[in-house]
């Protein structure tokens, strides 16, 4: 995720900013930049790649000022290169901006500026242009007022910071659905996306709430709403050490990432409908779809290729595409696909799913498909990654950097991505009315709140983990969308707790696996509400009759049967639809493996023998 630090009132502002950016490195980024302000001009230095590149550029071109803002960028719109790195300025160099988040209506806003040249491919740059236009219109230019007017036009998620030559001591910031901290200490004003950047300077900080704007000067920080009415931010004292600050108070990155899922899913769903200029019905769009819609409409077969967790998301993708778009789909382990002779032709679509976009097996499998002239769509979390670059179309999962080896937020956003691809293929094939697509998308917007509610199960899950932490073998069973979740639950447990765990289609139990059940075995049964619920209840009875302890995952309103047969039931909120429910069902399983692993004293974030990105075969 991008990082921000702004400073006003220090003679060593640039060093302070670089120190802050260093503290934010753990969040992951692909470029970095800094702007300083004085009454004559703004100076911007930015570089793709690691912070060292920026430091070297600043050695060649030192900046000195008491005011500046620094940024580390995790690309969402536009390749990770020098041009797209933040800060961005308007063409006259009057205003500079850094931004975390996604401006949903940036294309509309760009169009409102008329024939203006943009220097980057980002959504963020438009905010600098808009602020400069507001300043131009004022007899007495006032950056705060200009920003209030700009913010009133923005839609989407943002923590955004502005400086301008008109008001060079001042940084103006605004927040909506992306974190922003402000502080004032010893005659210096600060802002940052994360307390880790400020911890060396002050521990008394204030978190802006959604809709709040702050003017930061060496004299203090004024917080207001968009109308200029003074409001109170959330003030707090930071007593965490630096390690905890980087994890924002969580004990591990994995836990932090589990809790970031509401935001990650919301960001993945953001800005997906385009209203055409001719006023026709809104259409779903993918980020970088370079495949002609007519070509996609002629697709008669899909291969979804991925590894590990991404493969499990792909299994939900199969259900979505077959259900909505009516195209047959095979889901295959990428490392197997590339070594056989799959029947692929130009009417076959390959969908390659990878969080990192650098998994060699997935990249090679996708090119095996492309060599046979199949178009390739990448579902990826890292903008500009190899897979995304080589694919013909890309849908980004906007989950932000995932640091823990065990994938959590990447998985749930991949599921959402798969649902979007299913709807998109249905759209291009004319299998759905535009109003239906819009209706499903609108209902999917309920998922982030439902995840929040599901996370409240944490206490109950921890108690179960305490009870079952020494269970040597756990069997996960599920049907339909519950099967990939059962497989993901087993993978999570293996990965970080090193306990044996396996997943089976519940209907296969009687064909062999049920022989493994003996008194004391633990069976985790995925039994959310849906068309296979009754079958799952029967499967639960079968394993219970053979002595297993059963933990069932069910849905609010349909757990009566489960409570009768399972020893423990975790109740999920009702999802917007059956497939989207899989995003909720996996969350207690992520928490379960997390707690078991920590109770067993394992290194949750860096489990043995595993790497975050597998770039070798
Ligand atoms: C998930 O917890 C794993 N660490 C692993 O299975 C991962 O999903 C797999 O290696 C694929 O990675 P990718 O999504 O970056 O391609």
Cis amide leading into 494 (omega within 30): no
Question: pTM score, two decimals?
Answer: 0.80
For residue 383, how far is its CA from the centre of ligand 1 (angstroms)?
17
Q: What is the mean pLDDT of each run of 10 residues along the chain (617 residues)?
A: 91 96 83 94 94 95 94 86 96 96 91 92 95 96 97 93 96 91 96 88 91 97 97 84 76 95 94 77 82 93 98 98 98 94 95 93 95 96 84 92 92 98 95 90 95 98 97 95 98 96 96 92 96 95 94 93 94 95 98 98 89 73
pLDDT of 1 reads: 61
pLDDT for position 245: 67
Q: Are 392 and 291 contacting, i.e. CB atoms less than 8 angstroms apart?
A: yes
* pLDDT of the residue at 547: 92
Map tokens 């032709």 to a residue. 345
Distance 353 CA to ligand 1 centre (A): 10
Cβ of 604 less than 6 Å from ligand 1:
no
The per-residue pLDDT for range 462-495, each reduced to its tens digit, is 999 999 999 989 999 999 999 999 999 999 999 9
Q: In angstroms, what is the span from residue 254 Cα to ligand 1's centroid?
A: 14
Closest atom of ligand 1 to 362 CA is 16
Three-state secondary-structure class, residue 380: strand
612 CA to centre of ligand 1 in angstroms: 7
CA 613 to ligand 1: nearest atom? 15
Burial grade of 360 (CB within 10 A; 0-12, 13-18, 19 or more): middle
The Cα-based distances of 512 to 286, 430, 504, 505 in angstroms read: 43, 43, 10, 11
In 345-432, beta strands by DSSP E: 348-354, 376-380, 393-396
Q: Are 316 and 364 in contact (CB under 8 A)?
A: no
Q: Is 122 in the pocket of ligand 1 (CB under 6 A)?
A: no
| CA 291 to ligand 1 centroid distance, Å | 26
Q: Which atom of ligand 1 is nearest to the CA of 614?
A: 10
Q: Check if the beta carbon of residue 405 is closer than 8 Å to that of residue 414.
A: no
CB of residue 355 inside a 6 A radius of ligand 1: yes
The rounded Å distance from CA 386 to ligand 1 centre is: 15
Closest ligand 1 atom number to CA of residue 405: 4
Tokens 């430091």, located at residue: 55
Q: Which residues are catalytic?
A: 2, 612
Q: Could you tell me the two tokens for 27? A: 């969040």
CA-307 nearest atom, ligand 1: 11
Structural domains of the chain ordered from first start = 3-238 (3.60.20.10), 253-445 (3.40.50.10490), 454-599 (3.40.50.10490)
Ligand 1, atom 6, residue with closest C-alpha: 308
Query: From the CB of 356, is ligand 1 less than 6 Å away?
Result: yes
Query: What's the token pair of residue 410?
Result: 């990447």
Check if 590 has its Cβ closer than 6 Å to any atom of ligand 1. no
Q: Answer whether 405 contacts ligand 1 (Cβ < 6 A).
A: yes
Q: Does residue 495 line the site of ligand 1, with CB under 6 A?
A: yes
d(CA 88, CA 91): 9
Q: How far apart are CA 369 and CA 350, in angstroms?
A: 7
Which of the listed residues 407, 488, 490, 586 should we mutate to test ligand 1's pocket, taking the one with most ligand atoms within 8 A of CB? 407
Q: Is the CB of 614 under 6 A from ligand 1?
A: yes
pLDDT computed for residue 606 by the predictor: 84
């Amino acid at each position: 995720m991008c990082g921000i630090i702004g400073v006003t009132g220090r003679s060593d502002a640039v060093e302070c900013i670089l120190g802050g950016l260093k503290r934010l490195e753990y969040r992951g980024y692909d470029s970095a930049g800094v702007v300083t302000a004085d009454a004559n001009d703004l100076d911007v230095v930015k570089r793709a790649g690691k912070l060292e590149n920026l430091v070297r550029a600043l050695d060649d071109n030192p900046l000195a000022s008491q005011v500046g803002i620094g940024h580390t960028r995790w690309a969402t719109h536009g390749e990770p290169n020098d041009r797209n790195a933040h800060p961005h300025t308007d063409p006259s160099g009057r205003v500079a901006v850094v931004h975390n988040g996604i401006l949903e209506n940036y294309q509309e806003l760009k169009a409102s500026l008329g024939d203006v040249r943009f220097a980057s491919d980002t959504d963020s740059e438009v905010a600098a242009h808009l602020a400069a236009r507001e300043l131009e219109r004022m007899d007495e230019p006032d950056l705060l007022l200009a920003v209030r007017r700009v913010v009133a036009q923005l839609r989407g998620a943002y923590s955004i910071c502005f400086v301008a030559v008109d008001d060079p001591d001042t940084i103006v910031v605004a927040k909506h659905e992306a974190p922003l901290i402000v502080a004032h200490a010893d005659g210096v004003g600060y802002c940052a996306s994360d307390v880790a950047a400020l911890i060396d300077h002050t521990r008394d900080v204030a978190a802006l709430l959604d809709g709040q704007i702050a003017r930061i000067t060496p004299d203090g920080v004024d917080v207001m709403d968009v109308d200029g009415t003074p409001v109170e931010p959330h003030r707090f004292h930071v007593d965490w050490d630096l390690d905890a600050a980087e994890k924002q108070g969580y004990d591990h990155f994995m836990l932090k990432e589990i809790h970031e899922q509401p935001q990650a899913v919301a960001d993945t769903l953001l800005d997906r409908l385009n209203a055409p200029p001719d006023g026709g019905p809104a259409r779903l769009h993918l980020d970088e779809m370079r495949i002609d819609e007519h070509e996609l409409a002629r697709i008669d077969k899909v291969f979804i290729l991925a590894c590990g967790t991404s493969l499990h998301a792909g299994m939900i993708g199969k259900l979505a595409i077959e259900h909505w778009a009516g195209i047959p789909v095979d889901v295959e382990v990428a490392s197997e696909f590339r070594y056989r002779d799959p029947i692929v032709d130009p009417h076959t679509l390959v969908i390659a799913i990878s969080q990192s976009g650098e998994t060699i097996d997935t990249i090679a499998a996708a090119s095996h498909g492309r060599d046979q002239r199949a178009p390739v769509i990448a579902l990826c979390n890292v903008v500009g990654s190899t897979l995304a670059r080589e694919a013909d179309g890309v849908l980004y999962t906007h989950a932000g950097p995932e640091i823990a080896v065990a994938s959590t937020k990447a998985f749930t956003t991949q599921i959402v991505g798969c649902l979007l691809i299913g709807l998109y293929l249905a759209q291009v094939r004319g299998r759905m009315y535009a109003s239906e697509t819009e209706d499903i998308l609108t209902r999917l917007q309920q998922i982030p709140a439902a995840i929040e509610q599901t996370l409240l199960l944490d206490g109950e899950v921890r108690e179960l983990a305490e009870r079952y932490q020494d269970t040597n073998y756990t069997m996960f069973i599920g049907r339909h969308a519950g099967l990939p979740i059962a497989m993901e639950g087993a993978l999570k447990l293996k990965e970080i707790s090193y306990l044996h765990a396996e997943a089976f289609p519940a209907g296969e139990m009687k064909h062999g696996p049920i022989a493994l059940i003996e008194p004391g075995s633990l069976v985790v049964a995925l039994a959310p509400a849906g068309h296979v619920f009754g079958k799952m209840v029967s499967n639960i009875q079968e394993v219970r009759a053979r002595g297993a302890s059963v933990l069932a995952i069910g849905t609010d309103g349909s757990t009566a049967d489960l409570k009768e047969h399972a020893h423990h039931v975790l109740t999920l909120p009702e999802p917007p639809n059956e497939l989207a429910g899989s995003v909720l069902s996996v969350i207690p399983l992520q928490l379960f493996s997390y707690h078991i692993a920590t109770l067993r004293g394992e290194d949750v974030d860096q489990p043995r023998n595993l790497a975050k990105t597998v770039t070798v075969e």
